[in-house]
Chains A and B, each alone.
Chain A
Amino acid sequence: SAVISQKPSRDICQRGTSLTIQCQVDSQVTMMFWYRQQPGQSLTLIATANQGSEATYESGFVIDKFPISRPNLTFSTLTVSNMSPEDSSIYLCSVEDRQGFTYEQYFGPGTRLTVT
């Protein structure tokens, strides 16, 4: 399966600031996704990062708050803008690994964000 890395692994940020999280894959992948996992909770999809076009956001998430870039097939960034304590979460990228007509989704190690 693809090897996925994220930077930073964790950060503590002041409210009102922004943080950009990077996701790097060791092979070209078509689909990349960004998820949020609040403390003790399940995973919620933020958006699909589309290469060469604007990301597709899920209900409750907007581009102004979570701008996403996908400049190529191995890299994506998620920015958490104008942060508040409610944004404290783990942010995970995932990639779809296709093998013919089947696919599996794998996750990066996550970025643990604390907003004070």
Chain B
Amino acid sequence: GENVEQHPSTLSVQEGDSAVIKCTYSDSASNYFPWYKQELGKRPQLIIDIRSNVGEKKDQRIAVTLNKTAKHFSLHITETQPEDSAVYFCAASWTGGGNKLTFGTGTQLKVEL
């Protein structure tokens, strides 16, 4: 089955700096890669996703890149703000496999003033 690795496990940045979180996946059939943000005590929230027919996608300060050859994808947050502090999870799924999400282990992002 699919295995998703995520790095780093913790990331501390200064407000205004950029943050990058990286994930690798094992199943070359995976074709959908969402990112979720989970604040303490809250549900995971979908913040951006990318499909295998696209190499990059951007939404305001957030961008995701995908390298299918290397089987890795990354989340980029620019101009970080304190409200970006949360745990971020990457995930991967395959539409032919019932769209079941396999999650990475999570990254605790802390944006310091």
Interface residues of B (CB under 8 A from A): 1, 32, 34, 36, 42-46, 49, 51, 89, 95, 98-106
The complex places the Cα of A5 from the Cα of B110 at a distance, in Å, of 29
A96 in contact (CB, < 8 A): yes
> Chain A residues in contact with chain B, CB under 8 A?
31, 33, 41-45, 48, 56, 58-59, 92, 94, 96, 102-110
Cross-chain contact A105 with B105 (CB below 8 angstroms) = no
Shortest beta-carbon distance from B66 to chain A in Å: 15
Task: Give the secondary structure class of A's interface.
Answer: strand
> Once the chains bind, are A42 and B106 in contact (CB under 8 Å)?
yes
Total number of A-B contacts with CB less than 8 angstroms?
Answer: 48
Known: A102-B51, A104-B34. Contact between A110 and B43, CB under 8 A?
yes
Contact of B34 among A42, A105, A109 (CB under 8 A): A105
A45 nearest CB neighbor, chain B only: B100
Indicate which residue in A42, A96, A108 contacts B43 across the interface (CB closer than 8 Å): A108
One of B49, B100, B102 near A48 (C-beta < 8 A): B100
